Amino acid sequence: QPFLILAALSLFLAVLGPVAAALALRHGAD
């Protein structure tokens, strides 16, 4: 089911986005 994959992907990105941004910010500040 494409919808299920799309939902999982969007959820994954929604979680990964802020985490990656926080890591990048932390790495840049350090």
Burial class (CB in 10 A: 0-12, 13-18, 19+), 13: exposed
Decide if pLDDT at 30 tops 80. no
Mean pLDDT of the chain: 92
pLDDT at 17: 94
Sign of the C-alpha dihedral, residues 22, 24, 26, 29? negative
Decide if pLDDT at 18 tops 80. yes
Query: If you average pLDDT over residues 2-28, what whole number do you get?
Result: 94
Decide if pLDDT at 1 tops 90. no
